[in-house]
Each structure stands twice: as C-alpha cells, then as structure tokens.
Chain A
Amino acid sequence: MLPVRVFFKKQGVAAYISHLDLQRTVFRAILRSGIRPCYTEGFNPHIKLAFAVSLSVYQESECEIFDFFSEDDLPYETITEKLRSAFPECLPVIRAAAPVRKASELALADYIVDLFTPLGADEIKAALSGSINVVKKSKKGDVLTDISPLIRSMRFEPFESGVRLFLRCACGSGEHLNLRYLTDFLGEKITDSRIVRTALLTADGETLE
C-alpha cells in the first residue's frame, strides 16, 4: 500500500464543475489510469481518497491536492505518467509524490483574484478595508459574519480590465475563507471576477508538499 499525493490544476472549463463532480471525475480518472487504488472495507466499497480542501464552482487552481493509496508499489514517476494520460485536459496532473506533511496541516492559501471593474485599485482597496460583513448560510439560518480576520494579507494591482488582488487567507478544515464571499461582498462594484488559487500552505507559510 503506497501513499500517493497528487498535485493537479483545475483550470479552464473545470472551473464550472462542483467539488462533487470533481471527486467523481477524479475517481474515474484513477480507475482509467490502470493504477489499482485501495478501497475502504465495508458494504459499499469506495476508493480511499481525500482532497486537501475543496474548491468552489467558478474557481480555478494551480495547486490542488488529493491523497490516495496505490495497491502496488510503483515508482512515483510511473504513477505520474499513468495519471497524466487519464486526466482530462482541464485537470492536468503536475506530479504524484509521497506526502511530506499531513494534509490536515493545511492552514493557508494564496489566491489571485481578478476583479473586472471600472473602479481603480484604491477604490477597491477602500471598499475592502475594515470589516467585511457577509451573510453566511448555516443550518441555524443566515449569520452575519466579518470575514476580514480570515484574510492574512492583501495586495492590489491594476490590470487592463480592473483590479488584481493577491490574497493570502485562511484555508483548511479549521478556519476557511471561500473567496466567493469576498466577490459577493463587492457586489455591484464589479461586473465579473476570476478566482485562481495559487498555493496551499501550512501555518508556517511552507508549501504543502
């Protein structure tokens, strides 16, 4: 039983599929690759596989991660090759390797968010300074929450269609910020947005390897 961590991108049309769809797609791609994955024991066996963190629909990523186990002791290069050929074009596999840190150590993520807007960087910056109160839906009903504490750093740059944001924020099973809340908060100020996750990091700022 070989632990395998797979690094892959979610780009292009893959932005339009949900996390559940992504999971199903990944399961099938593994089975197509010819690698024999380990299954859960039990009445309805399924592949033992865990994503480091989910990514919402309409969001892209340069650095997604899932872990699974191979029945066979194959070299990681072989696994990488097999997976590459079985994944769809918009979910390219970067590499497969032995996990270094635990996926649960994930605490931060970097993003580039392109905000399509007639406003300048200063105006967007002003809008996002101070508390950012958004309505989060929960089982107990809608709750007004300030998401600004989840943002660790934020940098603004103009680009041809608006403002580009470089963000580092909480990510993982503890504190987590879905950037959809940020773009929803901006509402009418922007006409569209493109969210790309660029790195998954541990609490000490190291890339999750």
Chain B
Amino acid sequence: MIKDEYLPLLKKVERPGRYTGGEYGCTYKDKNAVDLRMCFCFPDTYEIGMSNLGVKILMHCLNKLDYLWCERAYAPWDDMEKLLRENRLPLYALESGDPLGEFDIIAFTLQYELSYTNAVNMLDLAGIPWYASERGEDDPLIIGGGPCAYNPEPVADFFDLFSIGEGEEHLCEIAALYRECRKNGVKKADFLRLASHIKGTYVPSLYDISYNEDGTVRSITPKYEDVPAVVEKRIMSDLDRSPFPTEFEMPYIEAVHDRVTLEVFRGCIRGCRFCQAGMVYRPYREKSVDVLDECARRSIAATGYDEMSLASLSISDYSHIDELVDKLLTWTEKQKVGLSLPSMRIDAFYADLMKKVMSVRKSGLTFAPEAGTQRLRDVINKNVTEEEILRSCRMAFENGRQNVKLYFMNGLPTETDEDIAGIAKLAGSIIGEFGGKAVGVTVSVSCFVPKPFTPFQWEPQDTVEELQRKQQLLRGEIRSRKITYNYHTAEVSHLEGVFARGDRRLCKAVAEAVRRGQRFDSWDEFFSAENWHDIFASVGIDESFYANRRRDYGEVLPWDHISCGVSKRFLINESEKARRGETTPDCRTKCSACGANALGGERRCCR
C-alpha cells in the first residue's frame, strides 16, 4: 500500500485511486522472508494496466514461487509525476509501497511501441540508471517482454534481457537462475551469459550489430560461441495445464476492461497478412471447454464481476464455440453475468450465437472488414466477402441493434483510391440495404503500420501526407449522415511505424524523447509530431528510412536473430501471394507450412 509520505500528494492529483494500492486480492508476502523481490511494470496508466490479463497470469506464476514476491507498478499520469519529482519521492510498487530501486528484478511488459518513453521514464522516476551498461551490481535487473519484445531493438540498450514469447515458465526459470547466481556471488554479466542459455532469453549486450554504408544492418553476431545466434520464442505447449490466476487484484477505480477476461485460445488460424499477433502467437492452441468453464466459474467467484469477455484473436474460430457458450450460459444467466464475444469474424458470425449472448446485456457489435474492396481484402488475406458483411449486419439490425461499427485500415500495400472509395461504398450499401430503419454505421479507419514477422514486414508505410490525403478522400466519399467516420491520427501511426521496424540506433531517440519530457505518446494529450521530428533530427535519425522504405527480401532485418516460429520463407511466400492478390486458406482448412508446428503444442490444428 502507498506509504504515508506519499499521501499528501493524492489530494492534488486526478483519480488518486490509481496510486493507493490496497486493492482486494493483492498478494502480500513478508519481504524479509523472500530471496527475490520483483516488480511488474506496465508502462501506461493504471486503468489500462489493470485490464491486462497477461500481467495477471505472469504475476500469478511468479508469486507461486515461495522465494519470490512480485508486485505491480504503473506509469503515473503527469500530475503525479510532477509531484513525485517536486517532492523527490521515487516511484513505488503498489503492494509494499517500496521504491522500485529496492527491487531485485523489474519487468516491463511492452504492449505497444508508443509506451517506450513511459518505460524509460519509469526507470528515471525510480532513480534507476536508464542504460543497462550504466547499471551496477546493486541495481535491479531490468527485463522486457510482451509483443514488442519480438523486435526489442529500439529499446535494447535499456534492458538487461528480454523474455521472448510466452513468459509463464521462462520468467520463473530466469528468476530461479538469478536467485542461484546471487546466492553464489555470480556477477550480473556472468548471470546474463548463463541466462542466454535458457531458451527464450535475449540478452542484447551479448550481440554485436554492424551496419552497411546505406544504413541497413549488415550482421547481428553473438559475442560468444555459447550465445545462441537465433533466440527462439517460448510457448506453453498445453494451455489446459497452463497456470491461471485464482485471485485477482480488484481495482477500486474503473479499469478500461473492467470484467473477467477468459482466454480461450492462443494464436489464430486465419493468417491475415497485416497482423503481427496472428503470426507471432502461432501455433494455434486451444483450451478445452471443461477447463474454460472451470476458469470462468473461478474467476467470477473470485472477482464478483458481472461481465465476462471471451477473449482471443478471432473468437468464433474456437472449434467448440457453441458448446462453450451453451455451457457457460447454463450458469451465467442465472448469476446475471453478461457474456461478450469481441473479435467475431464476420463470416462465422451467426444469429444463434448472437442471440444467445445478447440474453443478459447488450453490447456493441463490431466487425472488421479491414479493406473496402474484395481485391484488397484478398491482398491482405482477409477472407470475407461483401455478401457476408451485409448478411452479418442484417442479422445485427434484425436482432435489435441500431448501430454497427466497422473497422478498416488505410495505407495497406497496393491500395488505390478505388479501394478507399470502396470503404464508403460498403458502408453506403449497408445503409442502403437497411435504410428504412433508424440504423447507423460507424466507420473507424486506422492507418496501416507494417510490423515485423508479418508478410508485410518489407513493405513501405504510406507517408503521413499520403495517409492524410486518403483520409480526406474517404471523407469526401461518405455521403450518408447515418455514417459516422472516425480515423486515427496519421502522425501517431507514423511514429509507431518508425519504432515497429526500428533498430538499435533508435534507443538514442527514445532517450532524447524522455529527456525532453515526451511521455504517453499514445495519448492525444501528450503526443506531439513536431517534438518527435525535432527529436529524430537532433539525434540524426531519418524517420523515412525506418517507416517509408521498401526492404528487399535479402536485407538483414534488425529482428532476424529472433524467431517466433514462423519461417522467413513462409513470410516471403505470403508476401508474393499478396502481390498477386492470391489468398491463403486458414490453418484448419489447409496447413500452409508456416513452420510454427515445430514448436509443438496440444489441441492445435497443425500436425
């Protein structure tokens, strides 16, 4: 819980409930009775961090170790940051209230590129040296993980090691080794060398990076023979046996996702070519219906939530979705627990399932056609047709919905103005089809950001100007007042684009940004395109080199020494098929030999 000396600050900040700790369900241990103290840091606000199931799962795994106590910390909002600095009070963990500098291990989850500045700023607020090379034997070990760790190079200098892939077992193995090393007086550098032998560990300081004259990476070489040339990600092979939390910290203030999140499967059978999650979480692995039902019951009983969301990448692809929903409904209805199924695929969406989940509470309906024309949907391998989209909307409206939300992207590879106009046309035909009723369509368009480990990792991102031109073009094409049009700020996506495929030289831009006070870059309140241009210019970084340049297949990519299980050959093949406008069937229909099956796994679709 927050310590007394911090309490006077709480009357001067927005939402003081972010900073108190003391939530129901927290794990407390005797700090003098454990060998290792760890803090899990979420580099964004409390409300966002508390919504993250991954953090809950990992903390559960770590706190099961009797020699370790794992606590939580979040990025303070700028009002609190200012007060902490003015009063020279360090950032603290919510359970013990102790400053982060006193911990042995600090783990950051890197969920999105725009939280990098927050992560480094949190180190600063804790009085911990930013750079791994500047930290001594007594400073905490700084670990990174999460989806951005698949290309951790833009923040590599700040971390001692990265956990690649699913961390349930890996983090515990790292903790065990660290404990052992500390007991025996092993120096941090030697520990890191030993840690690199544990599968899934990437220690940036153990690799030399050289560059070509044109600025591209020439080579990534381990400094020692025993350090793996390629770090392979970790997976949990049997999700039914994977640890699932039995206790949950219950926020006093409202979290962004304030409900039970039930993870149904990992991976995705679809293979949309823009989607990093769909590639890096392969192979597709399911939990069984009985285990899910048990987890759901336990979670509801332990939290008192009256809402549960079945979360996975494309929930209707679960091979027993009907059976699962029926089983859950046998008790959720009685207990007035509402079920929501986000991320339904349009093609698999059907009335029965929808009617079932609507029985307790209504929630919004969102579909993601992603592109406005069939041609472009084929390029990105989003295998849905206009007919399917219209049919799903009809069912939604016939079942009493008044609004559907459609997600699109602009800036996709090969996109033409015709594809942009197609978005307006598609929304228009939905309105046209159901025009007699008071229905509305919300069109939400984000800007495509090419990501590592996708078939589009070699593609140039559209420039900010081009993205903005397309956004205005679409605005002009939308005629009906029943269509609400939202779009993302192109500059934000551009910044994301720079970092997503960045290399180690971007660390200095992150550091300079933190020095200049950039934080919360994913928040409109704080994002500043101008500041970022200045920052890049001041450290000699050419943004377009990272965001808007086409790479060829032969180029050494900054993340080539990391493996998510999907082979480069498969990605090249998919990239070629995209250019030809050819689709690839889902993994269940036909294996496309991506290579992830080599990682193993129970209840998966690949053999």
The dominant DSSP class at the B interface is loop
B-chain residues with CB within 8 Å of residue A29 when the two chains form the complex: 24, 304
Given contacts A24-B254, A58-B11, A90-B22, contact A16 B304 (CB under 8 A): no
- Of the listed stretches B13-21, B82-90, B218-226, B229-237, chain A binds B13-21
A-chain residues with CB within 8 Å of residue B24 when the two chains form the complex: 25, 29, 32, 86-89
* Cα of A44 to Cα of B362 in the assembled complex, Å: 9
* Cα of A58 to Cα of B22 in the assembled complex, Å: 16
Asked if B306 is at the interface (CB within 8 A of a chain A CB), the reply is yes
Interface residues of A in 26-40 (CB under 8 A from B): 27-32, 34, 39
* Cα of A18 to Cα of B336 in the assembled complex, Å: 25
Instruction: List the A residue with the shortest CB-CB distance to B300.
Output: A31
* Cα of A57 to Cα of B20 in the assembled complex, Å: 13
Is there contact, CB below 8 Å, between B252 and A32?
Answer: no
Asked if B527 is at the interface (CB within 8 A of a chain A CB), the reply is no
Is there contact, CB below 8 Å, between B17 and A28?
Answer: no
Residues of B in contact, count (CB < 8 Å): 26
Asked if B572 is at the interface (CB within 8 A of a chain A CB), the reply is no
Is there contact, CB below 8 Å, between B17 and A17?
Answer: yes
* Cα of A25 to Cα of B305 in the assembled complex, Å: 10
Interface residues of A in 63-92 (CB under 8 A from B): 86-90
Residues of A in contact, count (CB < 8 Å): 28
Instruction: List the B residue with the shortest CB-CB distance to A57.
Output: B16
* Cα of A13 to Cα of B252 in the assembled complex, Å: 10
Asked if A21 is at the interface (CB within 8 A of a chain B CB), the reply is yes
Asked if B250 is at the interface (CB within 8 A of a chain A CB), the reply is yes
Is there contact, CB below 8 Å, between B16 and A16?
Answer: yes
Asked if B353 is at the interface (CB within 8 A of a chain A CB), the reply is no
Asked if B309 is at the interface (CB within 8 A of a chain A CB), the reply is no
Asked if B8 is at the interface (CB within 8 A of a chain A CB), the reply is yes
Interface residues of B in 432-487 (CB under 8 A from A): none
Q: Which of A16, A34, A192 contacts B20 (CB 8 A)?
A: A16
Asked if B302 is at the interface (CB within 8 A of a chain A CB), the reply is yes
| A119 nearest CB across to chain B (Å) | 19
Interface residues of B in 281-316 (CB under 8 A from A): 300-306
Most chain A CB atoms below 10 A, which of B17, B252, B301: B252
Instruction: List the B residue with the shortest CB-CB distance to A192.
Output: B8
Q: Which of B21, B301, B302, B303 contacts A13 (CB 8 A)?
A: B21
Interface residues of B in 358-397 (CB under 8 A from A): 361
B interface residue numbers (CB < 8 A to A): 1-2, 8, 10-11, 16-17, 19-24, 250, 252-254, 300-306, 336, 361
29 contacts between A and B (CB under 8 A): A12-B22, A13-B1, A13-B252, A14-B22, A16-B20, A17-B252, A18-B253, A21-B252, A21-B254, A24-B254, A25-B24, A27-B304, A27-B306, A28-B304, A28-B305, A29-B24, A29-B304, A31-B304, A32-B303, A34-B301, A39-B336, A45-B336, A57-B16, A58-B11, A87-B24, A88-B22, A88-B24, A192-B8, A192-B11
The 6 closest A-B pairs by CB, nearest first: A28-B304, A31-B304, A13-B20, A32-B304, A88-B24, A16-B16
